[in-house]
Amino acid sequence: MSKQTRVPGSAGSPRRLSRRTFLGVTAGTTVALSLGTFIRSGLGAPRVNVLTWSNTLNVMDDVLREQAREYTKAKGVEVQFEFINQTDLPAKTAAAVESGAGPDVITLWSDGPHLHANALADIGDVAERLGKELKGWTNIAQDIAIVGKSWKAVPWGIIPICITYRSDWLKEVGYPRFPDTFDEMLVMAKKLKDKGHPVGFALGRAIGDGNQSHYPMLWAFGGAEVRKDGKTVAINSPETARAVDYRRKLYQDGETADVLSWDDSSNNRAFLAEAVSVTGNAASIYWAEKKNAPQLRDVTEHALWPTGPAGRFGYSTAISLGVFKFSKVQKEAKEFIGWLLQPKQYSAWMGIGEGMMAGLLNFYEDDPVWKKDPKLEVVRQIPKYVRMPGYPGPPSRPAAEAMVKYVVVNLFARACTGTATAEAIRVAENELKEIYGKA
């Protein structure tokens, strides 16, 4: 091999770079860059790194980027958002918690504040100040973020899950509005399927839509995985059996068989492809229609989850912002979170999402976004019906584990694939005893 590295130069006069020069230049540049970064980190403006999910609606992330720039300009604190795929968030959070290094602010999913309570700094001062200024927090917000007696995160909002349905097809089978009870929905689903428009609620490994569709169904029939103490497994009950029987009937009479393989995006695609008439989802379908299926905007409507013998329930994924104890800029991070939830910023972010997010501060129930489009009125009401997995017990690590192991979704899925109700419940009971027994 030649002793010298040839570097492409101008035509006809090749320049040669000696090995020594190459090493010198490389080492010099590295030292200069490191020194620059070092000086910048030590002497420059404090910097807050925020790790969050990449929203299905990119425009919402654009608003956050813009707000971060605004904040830096106004307060002299640099804020850097890093957006990653929702499914990568648990692994990144785990790595930060374990290594004691990483972002300063972390986005936590539903039970996250409880799962990572030990790694999170108390943020009660900010949360309580926001509560005082903005008409208080909803009950669910407190369940999510208060661990023991301290606020471990500031609830950022929920991704409201409601029924999305085709009003034209419902009218065809005699329903001018979406039925209010699960029993009526079953009758309607059968009529719809007979017309070639089945309903569909994700029963596969859809961490969002699968769980969000099936916890409310279990609760509405009076079933629960655990008692109020959050310890005693209570899934084996006549109420659960009724919910399971109902779910099987819905699958057989009114649903597309595809639901068993559905992930979180399948129902969106099926609805946009006009393959299903009803599904449980965030307002993202309605949003996506703007671009992908404008002809469906007029015939797409939202409804609350139906009621059952025990009432009306919902489960919508909640997201919260927490500050890690290891962060060296805790004060700045907390101040930024407080600023982000102020009406000027929050309304702009929530507003552009048009129903994709709903705030958990009572003030935001009257946000202008809900008046923008009458079809979003339903979405506005969702926070008051929302419960977290583990209900009626408090959110907890076992409740989160039961959810990621799809215990409730699988309970219904087993019944739909032919397992007898008692057997499906027995399997779920064993799984839950295993999970809650470890607590």
Interface residues with another protein (CB under 8 A) are 90-91, 94, 97-98, 115-116, 118-119, 203-205, 257-263, 266, 269-270, 273, 275, 397, 400-401, 404-406, 410, 413-414, 417, 427, 430-431, 434, 438
Measured in residues, the chain has a length of: 439
Which contiguous run of DSSP H or E holds residue 278?
Answer: strand 278-281
Rounded-to-integer distance, Cα 374 and Cα 168, Å: 17
Q: Which two tokens stand for residue 189?
A: 């689903």
CB of 118 to another protein, least distance (A): 4
Q: Which is nearer to another protein, 10 or 118 (CB)?
A: 118
Q: Which is nearer to another protein, 115 or 243 (CB)?
A: 115
Q: Which is nearer to another protein, 46 or 90 (CB)?
A: 90
Q: Which is nearer to another protein, 67 or 266 (CB)?
A: 266
CB of 299 to another protein, least distance (A): 19
Q: Is 16 left (phi over 0), alpha (psi -120 to 50) or beta?
A: beta
Rounded-to-integer distance, Cα 94 and Cα 102, Å: 10
Listed in sequence order, the residues at least 6 apart from 260 whose beta carbon sits closer than 8 Å to its beta carbon are 203, 204, 413, 416, 417
**Strands 15-17, 199-200: pairing kind:** unpaired
Q: Which is nearer to another protein, 116 or 302 (CB)?
A: 116
CB of 318 to another protein, least distance (A): 16
Are 253 and 189 a contacting pair, CB within 8 Å?
yes
CB of 438 to another protein, least distance (A): 7
CB of 280 to another protein, least distance (A): 17
Q: Of the candidates 367, 428, 401, which has an alpha carbon nearest to the alpha carbon of residue 207?
A: 401
DSSP state of 29: H
Q: Which is nearer to another protein, 258 or 373 (CB)?
A: 258
CB of 173 to another protein, least distance (A): 22
Are 405 and 431 a contacting pair, CB within 8 Å?
yes
